[in-house]
């Protein structure tokens, strides 16, 4: 997906996920101004037709289903009113490398901003993260003095690691948003090379993109922090040049545990699932446990590659699909 990605055509692809309000805007241009008029400078918007899209495919079960959808039909998505609505500025490059948006964009219908320029104002917001280790909050609808597509805040997480096919490897997996936490927050993982290259987990304030005021952040995920709590030993959590955090992040039903999946580039590593204490109750984020897809080092073994990441059912059971593994039956291998 090109970094200059937000427009009516792109929103159309995800509008069944984003709810009736944004779908009406996409398919019936006249409703754009009505939505803008409802969105006040200081107060929240009550719109029962909308639907927040807070993680990959919208929910913990990864259903991709919006039960509030009442507008989409072949007649209105195929007509002449369907087309580009707006486009964000091109997202930031890094050392001449253009940004790629591998992570799915997310949508929150009502975000109260705390950045100085927009402090106290409410916006429908698209959250996007790039391979160059940037996270953006983008205005989804025209508001007084703030056109749709305006970047409301941006956060640079640090110098993105590596390079595959000429790109960087910053944020690849879809973040997860928790609106019930205080403050509402974004969980996002990035391959960052500053201070030593590692995968790091960031917990950002949805209102401004800053780190939430909790200890241990960003949380480093490497062999020293992950392997000691591995529930399928032995196993080596390889360096970021071999490990990819491609799968979407997911949250336990009570929001206290975040699940972060990994796979290996070019069959060079076993897959891993990391369970993280989010700090919403304990006040101290940290790695709770991990699970290696296999015992081998430097070879494919149970990579957790799927872009959707793990799914979680209503009982809290976690499900994940794995990739290939060494041939034959190998104890502890889940590929």
Residue 261 lies in a domain: yes
E runs forming strands in 89-248: 106-112, 122-129, 134-139, 151-156, 176-178, 185-192, 198-205, 219-221, 243-244
Angle between helices 30-38 and 20-27 (to 10 degrees): 140
Please tell me the total count of domains within the chain: 2
Pair 14, 120 in one domain: yes
Closest CA to 175 of 104, 232, 92, 125: 104
Count of H-run helices and E-run strands, the chain: 5, 15
Q: Are residue 159 and residue 226 in the same domain, yes or no?
A: no
CA 19 vs. chain centroid, Å, equals 18
Burial (CB count within 10 angstroms: exposed 0-12, middle 13-18, buried 19+), residue 97: middle
Q: Would 208 be classed as within a structural domain?
A: no
* Ramachandran sector of residue 143 (left: φ over 0; alpha: ψ -120 to 50; beta: rest): beta
What is the mean pLDDT for each group of 10 consecutive residues in the chain (335 residues)? 35 34 31 38 42 94 88 79 87 94 96 97 97 97 96 97 79 97 97 94 98 96 94 87 92 97 83 95 96 75 88 95 76 68
pLDDT at 298: 65
Is 103:129 a contact under the CB 8 Å cutoff?
Answer: yes
Is residue 23 domain-shared with residue 158, that is, in the same domain? yes
Residues 49, 141, single domain; the answer is yes
Q: Which ranges of the chain would DSSP assign to H, the alpha helix?
A: 8-18, 20-27, 30-38, 74-77, 223-226
**Domain presence at residue 138:** yes
pLDDT of residue 50: 58
> Cα dihedral angle (311, 169, 183, 314), rounded to 10 degrees?
0
Domain that holds residue 137: 1-172
Query: Is position 182 within any domain?
Result: no
pTM of the predicted model as reported, rounded to 2 decimal places? 0.85
Give the CA distances from residue 78 to residues 10, 17, 66, 81, 85, in Å, rounded to whole numbers and listed in that order. Answer: 14, 18, 20, 8, 15
């Amino acid at each position: 997906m090109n970094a200059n990605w937000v427009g009516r055509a792109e929103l159309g692809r995800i509008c069944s996920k984003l709810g009736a309000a944004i779908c009406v805007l996409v398919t019936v241009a006249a409703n754009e101004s009505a939505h803008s008029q409802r969105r006040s400078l200081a107060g929240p918007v009550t719109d029962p037709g909308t639907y927040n899209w807070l993680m990959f495919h919208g929910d913990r079960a990864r259903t991709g289903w919006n039960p509030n959808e009442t507008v989409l039909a072949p007649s209105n998505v195929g007509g002449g009113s369907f087309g580009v609505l707006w486009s964000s500025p091109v997202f930031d490059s890094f050392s001449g490398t253009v940004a790629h948006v591998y992570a799915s964009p997310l949508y929150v219908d009502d975000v109260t901003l705390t950045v100085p320029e927009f402090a106290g104002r409410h916006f429908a917001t698209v959250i996007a993260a790039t391979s160059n280790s940037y996270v953006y909050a983008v205005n989804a609808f025209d508001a007084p003095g703030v056109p749709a597509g305006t970047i409301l805040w941006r956060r640079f997480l640090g110098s993105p690691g590596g390079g595959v096919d000429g790109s960087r490897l910053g944020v690849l997996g879809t973040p997860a948003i928790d609106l019930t936490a205080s403050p509402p927050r974004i969980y996002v993982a990035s391959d960052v090379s500053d201070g030593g290259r590692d995968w790091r987990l960031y917990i950002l304030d949805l209102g401004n993109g800053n780190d939430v005021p909790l200890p241990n952040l960003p949380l480093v995920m490497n062999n020293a922090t992950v392997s000691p709590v591995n529930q399928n030993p032995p196993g080596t959590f390889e360096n970021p040049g071999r490990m990819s955090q491609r799968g979407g992040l997911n949250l336990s039903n009570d929001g206290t545990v975040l699940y972060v999946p990994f796979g290996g580039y070019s069959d060079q590593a076993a897959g891993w699932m990391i369970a993280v204490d989010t700090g919403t109750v304990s006040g101290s984020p940290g790695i709770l446990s991990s699970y290696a897809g296999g015992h081998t080092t430097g070879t494919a073994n149970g990579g957790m590659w799927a872009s959707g990441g793990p799914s979680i059912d209503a009982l809290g059971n976690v499900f994940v699909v794995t990739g290939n593994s060494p041939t034959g039956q190998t104890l502890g291998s889940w590929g």
